[in-house]
Each structure stands twice: as structure tokens, then as C-alpha cells.
Amino acid sequence: MKVYNTLTRTKEEFVPLEEGKVKMYVCGPTVYNYIHIGNARPMIVFDTVRRYFEYKGYDVNYVSNFTDVDDKIIKKANEEGVSATEISERYIQAVKEDMKNLNVKPATTHPKATEEIDGMIDMIQTLIDKGHAYEKNGTVYFRTRSFDDYGKLSKKNIDDLEAGHRDIKVAGEEEKEDPMDFVLWKPKKEGEPSWPSPWSDGRPGWHIECSVMSKKYLGEQIDIHAGGEDLIFPHHENEIAQSEATNGKEFSKYWLHNGFLNIDNKKMSKSEGNFFTVREIGEKYPYEVLRFFMLSGAHYRMPLNFSRELMEAAKNGLERIVTAVEKVKGLMEKAEEKPLTAEEKEFLTELERLNEKFDAAMDDDFNTADAVSAIFELVKLTNTRMKESSSKEAVEKAYGKLTLLCGILGIEAERKEELLDADVEALIEERQTARKNRDFARADEIRNELLEKGIVLEDTREGVRWKRA
């Protein structure tokens, strides 16, 4: 299995630190708003990487953080006149809902920066003790030149970087020993959340949180560290400096970075204002179409341009797969158990060949676009070969293979069962009875069950009204 490692700029054979195990850390979102579909790209891509490792039999420990203390969160909290925690909790819930809709599995652990402050203070103290960091007026800086390998991930030379930095004076950071030094801890300003520390009441810098959370939940060395390519510099470069200076060991063996999701060939970003939230797109297309678009549209390292045409193409492609799955499912109910014909034996061999083709694409640095092509071949083959007279074993194997391969990509290739109006009415009646009996837990359970199936209830004076979302 080959993975492209940003650290070496080559595709390398994947060899885990420990046999049968993968420890991976994926930088998560800063939670101050609904995520846009660009933010969803790393979530979907690396969830697929995880699913593929699991299919290959690895035990994957997957950690992804929530950055819940940050200037943008504080700004939003001040605008709304609420606490920073209220903002971050609101959007953590929203991200979790978006992830569920996109069929992104919850991480093994989802640490939050604000709950890991002690660990950050410890690591910063270690860095100070080792001469890699220093304090000035309550701020602690990383002494970038003390780390010899600085620039190894981004392939930047520290002197060139410094030349570019010389004229840039960051307000309040004139006290730094060197313009290349970066903040590990900063004192609070009026109205900001803060924590006590040996240096000042303040809060951590962004980079230190990932070094600390990765070490706490995965250990000093991990197999894979991942995120969008904009994180290579400075975020991941600084994480390497902090972690390796602290632990004296290589931090992550492989560094994986996804390309940008663009719109009109420009990066989709909140600051540019050219973005769609996952929710906005979810109102126009089923969520699985968005996931399918991300995986079929381009290799994860390449840029991917978002457009209505490509989403329509993804929708049609997915529909073709779902129709084939539904067809074999229907055949399965009626098919008889009988010996395989010679043609069916050959069909089963072809299924295995296409499974191998799928695996070969995924083994080549997770080429999901090619893996999807193998699924389309499988769809075509199934549509032409499977018929009313097919044996049970053949249709079952076709169904099993289609759903297996789609599942590795996190695509549920079955039509969602729609609730009939009568079923909805019956559940509403049960909810009314539960409420009369003051069994509110059951009443809420029914409301949520309906919501999951896209039915929204509205309690009015005339009784309960419902609609399909």
C-alpha cells in the first residue's frame, strides 16, 4: 500500500509503527460557524482513508480535535453577547450533525482544546526547560532557530523565511528574539477567556494544541498526521518543531494533505465569502451526493472545482449504483438456490477481479476516483448478467460486493426507506398518548425518530402538524 508523504514528497510503502495498528491525527475545524463544503473535504477524505485501513484489517485509532478557543470564536461571542463556550458548543454540535449526515464516522477521540490546557502548560514548560522557548511579558514564544530541522515539511529555508518576515512587524510581538519565533502562550486581553499559567493568565497558541492532544491520545510517535494543504505551513511545520523538540523523536511518519475545494477555480474560504455551507448543499442534494462528488471528482491531493454540473453528474452516477443495488436486492428475494452455471462462475471471478481493481486503486495513495470506476464496472456487469433466473448465490455475491465496496467509501448504496403517511400518523398518535401519560422521554424519542427520517413535527393549537423536510 503506497501513500504520498508530504515530508518526503514521494509515494512510500505504508509501514505502520506497530503491526496491525494505525495511529492517525487529523486537524479538525475551528468552531465558530457552520462548516463549509471545503472543510468537509478533509473530513470525508480522511474518513475514507480510515475506512480503507479498517477494511484491510488495521485497528485504527483516529483522533480529530475541535479548536474551541480562538480569536474568531471570541469575536463571534462578543458580537452575539454570549460566552465563547456557548458559541463553540453550538458549532461543535452542528459539526457533529454535519459529519453524521456525510456519513463521517466519529473519531475514536474528539478532544477539545479548552479541556487540554494543563497538558499544553506542561509541554510549554518542557520547551522552556530545554531552551526551545522563552517568556517575555507573559507571552511564551518558541525559539524557532533552536530546532535544526525547521522547514523540513514545507521545504522552506529559515533564512529565506526570515528575509520575507523582516519588514512584517506583528503588533505586540516586537519583543520577540527573532521574527521567526511563534507564540505558544499569550496573555489575555479584556473580555477573553483565560486560564492561569506560570507566565500569565492567558490562552494557548493554536499550534501547541495539536502537539499536545496528539501526544496524549496517540503517544509520542504516530503513523499519520493529516489536514488540508494550507496547514503544511506554518501549522504543521510548527507542530513538528514543538513535538520533536519536546520528545526528541520523529513526530509523525507520514504527512497527508488534501487539495482545496475551489469554486470558479478559487479556494473556497470563509474569509473570501465564496463558500457554501454543508447544510446549504444538503438542502439541494442528498448528503451522500456531496460525499460521492468529493470522492469521485478528483484524487484527494488535487484541487476539486465545485459546480452544479459536477454535482448533477455525481447525483446521476450515484443513482446508477443505487439502482443496480436495488435490482439485485429485488432479485435476491426471489432467486432460487441452485448450482452455479458456468457463466455465473465466470461472473463471480469477475467480481473478485473488480474487487482487486478497486483495492489496487486505493492501494495507490487512496485513488478514490479510480476506485469508483471499478464500482461502475461492477454495476455494468451486474446489470447485464443478473436476471430473474440467476441463482441465489450469484445475486447475493453481487449484492455483497457492491455494498462492500461502496461501504469502504462511506456510501450507503441503498435507497432510504421512506415512511408511509400512515406510519407517520401512527407514530404521532403514539407520541400523543405518551405525552398524555407524561412519558416525555418516549415522546421525545418518537419526535427524534421521525426527524431522522425527515419528518418535522409542529405542535399547534389545532393539534400536531407534520411535513417532510
Note whether 35 and 29 are within 8 A (CB).
yes
CB of 220 to ligand AMP, least distance (A): 23
User: Where does 267-366 have alpha helices with state H?
Assistant: 278-284, 287-297, 308-334, 342-363
User: Burial code of 163-188, b = ≥16 C-beta within 10 A, e = fewer?
Assistant: eeeeeeeeeebeebeebbbbbbbbbe
C-alpha distances in Å from residue 374, one per residue of 57, 353, 378, 400: 21, 10, 6, 15
Q: Which long-range contacts (CB under 8 A, 24 or more apart) does 341-347 make?
A: 341/391, 343/385, 344/385, 344/390, 344/391, 344/393, 344/394, 347/381, 347/385, 347/394, 347/398
Give the separation between CA 82 and CA 387, rounded to whole angstroms.
Answer: 62
Measured from the CB atom, the residue of 40 and 124 that comes closer to ligand AMP is 40
Note whether 368 and 358 are within 8 A (CB).
no
Longest dimension (CA), the chain: 82
Q: Is 231 in the site for ligand AMP (CB under 6 A)?
A: yes
CB of 162 to ligand AMP, least distance (A): 25
User: Which 28-57 residues touch ligand AMP, going by CB under 6 A?
Assistant: 29-30, 38-39, 41-42
What 3-state class would DSSP assign to 34?
Answer: coil
Q: Which residue sits closest to ligand AMP, CB atoms considered?
A: 228
- 210 interacts with, out of ligand AMP, Zn ion, none, CB within 5 to 8 A per kind: Zn ion
Q: Is 27 in the site for ligand AMP (CB under 6 A)?
A: yes
Give the separation between CA 13 and CA 30, rounded to whole angstroms.
Answer: 32
Upstream peptide bond of 234 is cis (omega within 30 degrees of 0): yes
Helix (H) or strand (E) holding 258: strand 252-258
Among 126, 194, 269, 403, binds ligand AMP (CB under 6 A): 269
Q: Tell me if 110 is assigned to a ligand binding site.
A: no
Binding mask 191-230 for ligand AMP (x = CB under 6 A): ------------------------------------xx-x
Measured from the CB atom, the residue of 246 and 367 that comes closer to Zn ion is 246
Burial class (CB in 10 A: 0-12, 13-18, 19+), 148: exposed
Segment lying near ligand AMP (by CB under 6 A), choices 157-165, 258-266, 311-319, 329-337: 258-266
Which residues bind to Zn ion, rule: CB under 5 A?
Answer: 27, 210
- 261 interacts with, out of ligand AMP, Zn ion, none, CB within 5 to 8 A per kind: ligand AMP
Q: Tell me if 239 is assigned to a ligand binding site.
A: yes
Q: Is 267 in the site for ligand AMP (CB under 6 A)?
A: yes
Q: Is 274 in the site for ligand AMP (CB under 6 A)?
A: no
Q: Tell me if 27 is assigned to a ligand binding site.
A: yes
CA dihedral 365, 104, 39, 364 (to 10 degrees): 0
CB of 365 to ligand AMP, least distance (A): 17
CB of 118 to ligand AMP, least distance (A): 23
Residues 6 or more apart in contact with residue 379 via CB below 8 angstroms: 320, 321, 324, 402
- 41 interacts with, out of ligand AMP, Zn ion, none, CB within 5 to 8 A per kind: ligand AMP
Binding mask 378-407 for ligand AMP (x = CB under 6 A): ------------------------------
Q: Which residues bind ligand AMP (CB under 6 A)?
A: 27, 29-30, 38-39, 41-42, 227-228, 230-231, 258, 260-261, 267-269
**Binding site for Zn(2+): residue ranges?**
27, 210, 235, 239
Known binding site: residues?
27, 210, 235, 239, 270
